[in-house]
Structure 1
């Protein structure tokens, strides 16, 4: 019960900030570009600073924790299951099927994952290995699949360079480097007058992310189109129900995790579909409405699932 109460308090914090963003959008505070500005500021400035601040103070064992195996196996499982469902029932075009697989396996590790890890799990560093796994493995693989199914060719150059254009990944790598140097020399090599402003900027990341997400909910109508509705609901079921179940089975029986580590593995697996999937869909003009429905519905369902996980495991 204590875990459920902690989770509910965490969701209350997250929900209030999201609601502020929604009300601000309804009142047109900041104008029509407010959501875009908040998203870009958080993505390009605040979140990289936050990730750097966290990782530069963490031990490298945080990134090498075996729990990343759980996240990897659970993601691959649900992605493969969607492709199997599509082959048997939905028969979506190949690019749309690729978007569906990404929707099932790609976690919203930034917009929702960071707040959940911060306010529910109590440690924002828990989500960092998932961030790096997705950007170093799943994102290049997803882009390769979309290249192959829409253009008929695979751009190796785009696959290699795309992660290097991600500021959060750059902040992660720099944080790891500083952490390794700190461990080697035995003290923090970043002076306080540099670290403090980076930390101040990073502290703004989560509020900006949540308010921007709240703004995006204004006028949203999930599953408005009948075409692809069954496929979208299947993605949501795989993402919000099957993936946490696979993560639990893998963590509990295969890895032998118990207590907080088991809880964190299952909660993070229940995160909704990442908004990057919509960006990829729009870039390749493949499954745009389909990806938007998956993201929105899985985001609505995710808190209920995480509350159930907290009640069972917290």
Structure 2
């Protein structure tokens, strides 16, 4: 299938960029703080610009497509399952458990989701509801938990201030607002000379995140931390197997989706964990090894399960 081949080529592109980050770290390009600089710049500058650029150009009705219900509940259920498994077997602290839940439910909707939506599903706008769901709901909730658990205090004031601490959420909401204004007035309200630099900065987010992830692999051996090994495997199983099954059941039996919409819901649910989770772990300096290993294992196994879904449903 040509679409499946193109998606696998997308995985190859991502692997090459990660490898460049690894080689850069091995050659000590940028010094010992290069990884931290890339993570912070992406978190505070590039990623918010990327979310704004994508969502502001997306039609408002595409952003809130009904498939967002399937994406939301399949992700939520998988995250809850991980937290239950953690309570019963893994016994991680709140911060590490939050990273595990995000590893289980967070979709790589940008650098893998966009190519797959384009080449397999034929419509890149299909990832827009996922972008909104993750940035408007799961990301602020997860980062709020990380913020209050790493600071050791929980107050109403601290929780209320969280949106001001989340550049990704601010960028996403601003993009949605511009999309709504565009639908209302009939034309894109931001001048090209203002939008273009935002878009240009946003284009740097994905390669910086991928290279920072590659840098994190230097000098480490994945899956070597015995205590996290079982949890890491559980994350990959939840993300690549359980979540697509839940998405199929919800899409088919609850929402009544058929044909292309059903296919899209299941394929997108089989996406690997997004590298953003490692970015968040690095931001708060918690669960770095666990986040890295979960993303790596999920990314390595995801093409297999996407191919199976494509074979069964396409």
Q: What is the rounded CA distance, in whole Å, between the counterparts of 2:289 and 2:32 in structure 1?
A: 21
User: For each residue in 1:171-206, what CA deviation from the matched residue of structure 2 results, as whole angstroms up to 9, or x when unmatched?
Assistant: 222222222222222222212222233333333333
Matched position secondary structure for 1:107: coil
> What is the CA-CA distance between 1:237 and the residue it aligns to?
0.9
> What is the CA-CA distance between 1:87 and the residue it aligns to?
4.5
- Per the alignment, residue 307 of structure 2 pairs with 307
Matches within 5 A, 1:201-240: 201-240=201-240
User: For each residue in 1:238-258, what CA deviation from the matched residue of structure 2 results, as whole angstroms up to 9, or x when unmatched?
Assistant: 122101111122223322334
- Per the alignment, residue 245 of structure 2 pairs with 245
Matches within 5 A, 1:217-296: 217-275=217-275, 277=277, 289-296=289-296
CA separation of 1:290 and 1:196: change in aligned 2, threshold 3 A: closer
CA separation of 1:213 and 1:307: change in aligned 2, threshold 3 A: farther
> What is the CA-CA distance between 1:149 and the residue it aligns to?
7.7
> What is the CA-CA distance between 1:112 and the residue it aligns to?
4.9
Structure 2 unaligned segments of length 5 or more: list them.
none
CA contact (8 A) 1:58 1:179 kept: yes
CA contact (8 A) 2:135 2:172 kept: no
Structure 1 unaligned segments of length 5 or more: list them.
none
CA separation of 1:173 and 1:90: change in aligned 2, threshold 3 A: closer
Q: What is the rounded CA distance, in whole Å, between the counterparts of 1:144 and 1:199 in structure 2?
A: 27
Q: What is the rounded CA distance, in whole Å, between the counterparts of 1:189 and 1:175 in structure 2?
A: 12
Matched position secondary structure for 1:227: helix
CA RMSD of aligned residues (A): 3.3
Q: What is the rounded CA distance, in whole Å, between the counterparts of 1:287 and 1:128 in structure 2?
A: 28
CA separation of 1:204 and 1:146: change in aligned 2, threshold 3 A: closer
- Per the alignment, residue 76 of structure 1 pairs with 76
- Per the alignment, residue 14 of structure 1 pairs with 14
Q: What is the rounded CA distance, in whole Å, between the counterparts of 1:217 and 1:9 in structure 2?
A: 22
TM-score, length basis structure 1: 0.82
Q: Is 1:136 aligned to 2:143, yes or no? A: no
Q: Is 1:159 aligned to 2:151, yes or no? A: no
Q: Is 1:25 aligned to 2:25, yes or no? A: yes
> What is the CA-CA distance between 1:169 and the residue it aligns to?
2.0
CA separation of 1:208 and 1:255: change in aligned 2, threshold 3 A: same
Q: What is the rounded CA distance, in whole Å, between the counterparts of 1:176 and 1:276 in structure 2?
A: 20
CA separation of 1:145 and 1:192: change in aligned 2, threshold 3 A: closer
Count of equivalent residues: 314
User: For each residue in 1:186-231, what CA deviation from the matched residue of structure 2 results, as whole angstroms up to 9, or x when unmatched?
Assistant: 2222122222333333333333333333333323322212224223
- Per the alignment, residue 59 of structure 1 pairs with 59
CA separation of 1:171 and 1:189: change in aligned 2, threshold 3 A: same
Q: What is the rounded CA distance, in whole Å, between the counterparts of 2:94 and 2:44 in structure 1?
A: 32
- Per the alignment, residue 46 of structure 1 pairs with 46
CA contact (8 A) 1:241 1:305 kept: yes
CA contact (8 A) 2:86 2:97 kept: yes
TM-score, length basis structure 2: 0.82
